Amino acid sequence: MVLSPNGEIVACGSQDNSVHFWRRSNSRDAMMSGYQGKPRSLSFDNSGVLLATGGSERVTVWSFDGEGPEGTAPGELELHVKPITCLTFAPRGMRLASGSKDGSVGVWLLDQNGQGDAIGAVATFAPISMLTWRPDGRALAAVSSQGSVHAWRVKN
C-alpha cells in the first residue's frame, strides 16, 4: 500500500492481481487489472503524477496526469527476468529504480505518461529487498536478501 505525496490517493496491490486506488476527495474506488502476479511493490513519484507498480517481471507505471489513469494505457518497463521486489522514485525528476528477485537493479528515465527507457542496470548475486536514493538523487543503494549492501553513483 502507498499514499500519494499530497495524501489524496491511496493505492494497494490486491490478491486478485489488481491495483485498487481510492481518491479521498470523492471516495471513488478504481481498479487496474491484468497483472501477471500480485502487485507487491508500489511507489508514487514526488509530484504524485506517476504510480509505479510491480509484482511480475514487468514494471507498470500509471499516470495520474489530467483525469487519472482510468481508460489509459500504462507504461510498461521490461528488464528483469524474475518478479519485481521493490520500486522507488528519485527525490527529484522522473527517475525510477526497480529491484528484482533475479538480483538486478534497473534505473529508468520516465516521461509524464509513465513511458520510459532503462538508463542503467546492474546485477548483484541475491534478490533485492530494498532500494533507497541518496537525498540529492546522485546515488542509489540496494540491500539484498542476504544482507549485502551495494551503492552506485547515478547521473542526473
What are the tens digits of pLDDT across the range 9-41? 999 999 999 999 999 988 888 999 888 889 999
Rounded-to-10 torsion of CA 34, 52, 12, 25 = -110
| pLDDT band with cut points at 50, 70 and 90 for residue 77 | very high
Residue ranges of domains in the chain: 2-153
pLDDT beyond 80 at 156: no
Q: Quote the distance between the C-alpha of residue 46 and its chain's center.
A: 12
- Domain 2-153 CATH (choose: 3.30.565.10, 2.130.10.10, 2.30.30.60, 3.40.50.720): 2.130.10.10
**Is the pTM value of this prediction over 0.85?**
yes
52 bridge partner residues: 43, 61
Q: Is the distance from CB of 105 to CB of 98 less than 8 angstroms?
A: yes
Q: Is the distance from CB of 84 to CB of 105 less than 8 angstroms?
A: no
First and final CA of the chain: distance in angstroms? 28
116 bridge partner residues: 110
